[in-house]
Chains A and B, each alone.
Chain A
């Protein structure tokens, strides 16, 4: 099982495009979440969550603030590890492997499960270095490979044409929408399999938001995407599956079309129709 160590060996060379990755090798579910409860100190943030996330699809987490959707997202690549007093019960499996197992190196896990945050957070470095950072810390020195990956990632996020002449410009000087696309490119450059997005458009204007949404739909051809959003229309527009959370519990998860037209839970219906939240 090569993914137990998440050996970075094949990352040295461009991977074959995963759209032509043989279908038989794909597990049915990319991520399996079983009986997950998590706590910040004595406060329980998640209550016994069970869900499966399909590969090469967009899964949206919706629900009112504080419902636990961001906590769950951050659990998927163990971003909560550094929070003192954080505790998790249950298991989260990535390609069938428990990511909280002690055999997992969390850094390697995060190379496979990338993340994009609420507010664009480019490093105060050049655009090029922003995108190249993930490769550099893996010890990759091959300059042409790095250049290739930077260009590829920036093209994937439709940013290449806008910045190709100013790659040495500092990343923080871009507009908000460009910054967020830069952050997505930065996450893609290490060739993750899953990209987690934590309300990626909440700090952006409608035009930039539309661009990111387009991009997300485009990206699901190659990546499994999990997106937390406050905006229900956004979930309806871009996701295949939608999970509705309320007060730390997963109330309902189903195909997006079903959730938005015919939810099985009353609570979901109330939320969707804007009765609270």
Chain B
């Protein structure tokens, strides 16, 4: 009997270690991500001065006249993200408010999972949508629109990230204590007034978190922009012309046969670390805000 007890405790200890090991995989993943990016980027910057990387206005690593101005790719990323957010924030927020304050539980239980399907559709599929449906449709009104452009890519990306904003904002809204709401109703406010004067302000940090996460998602989105926004790096704010985002560039290089240890190979890591830094900052802001929000209402 005594040994049974001993074996049980030993097994528990071993299993606990195993579980801990599994949890540590996440730590190593982060370390490896940062490690690889820094390692290859270091090799990159041994040859290319940081000033050129930051201030050159062209990105032409694949041509003879090589230029490495990351702003070029960033402008593409900025444009597509901008249009995505312009579409997703008003729609996503309206949906969140509508679901939380204006519908009954039954409709919400149907609408919410259905909307989440939008985020479940693979992004390569959205790329096809942007290229073959949205761009031709927009060209009817904007003849100057090229086949590849940041406008359609951004709009479609916006549709894709609607659920990010609507779901997370809805969670934030429903975390607002109903006593606050009742107080407003008690003073004769309409639903609309209650929502915009009481509930939304009370949930603001949760809503901001959802928007930040959506931006982070849009910045890192790859296939839509690789398909519909083009592969021509160009420093521009014109939504009608082809551009290339950071992510699309990485895909473009990966599709080709670039020898490892070449300069072209390193450029994707330099581009990658730029992308990583942006999403890293956004994610940490949202983590911090979410924590604040939780402390307030839990």
Contacts and interface: CB of A to CB of B under 8 A. Distances in A.
Contacts of A5: 2
B4 A139 contact: yes
Contacts of A7: 1-2
Contacts, number: 9
A66 interface: no
A8 B3 CA distance: 12
B8 interface: yes
A5 B5 CA distance: 11
A139 B2 CA distance: 12
Interface residues of B, number: 5
Interface residues of A, number: 6
Interface string B1-28: 1101100100000000000000000000
Contacts of A8: 1, 5
Contacts of A9: 1
Interface of A is mostly: loop
A139 B4 CA distance: 8
Nearest to B8: A139
Q: Which of B2, B4, B5 has the most CB of A within 10 A?
A: B5
A261 to B, nearest CB: 45
Nearest to A6: B5
A7 B1 CA distance: 8
B192 to A, nearest CB: 40
A105 B12 CA distance: 14
Contacts of B1: 7-9
B3 to A, nearest CB: 11
Nearest to B9: A105
Contacts of A105: 5
B16 to A, nearest CB: 14
Interface in A1-28: 5, 7-9
A5 B1 CA distance: 12
Contacts of B4: 139
Interface in A25-78: none
Nearest to B4: A139
Contacts of B5: 8, 105
B298 to A, nearest CB: 16
Nearest to B2: A7
Nearest to B1: A9
B11 to A, nearest CB: 12
Interface centre among B1, B2, B4, B8 (most CB of A within 10 A): B1
A133 to B, nearest CB: 16
A91 B1 CA distance: 29
A105 B4 CA distance: 14
A7 B4 CA distance: 11
A105 B9 CA distance: 10
B188 to A, nearest CB: 36
Nearest to A5: B2
A32 to B, nearest CB: 27
A8 B5 CA distance: 9
B271 to A, nearest CB: 44
A105 B8 CA distance: 12
Given A8-B5, A105-B5, A139-B8, 6 more contacts: A5-B2, A7-B1, A7-B2, A8-B1, A9-B1, A139-B4
Interface of A: 5, 7-9, 105, 139
Interface of B: 1-2, 4-5, 8
9 contacts: A5-B2, A7-B1, A7-B2, A8-B1, A8-B5, A9-B1, A105-B5, A139-B4, A139-B8
- 5 interchain residue pairs of minimum CB distance: A9-B1, A139-B4, A8-B1, A7-B1, A7-B2
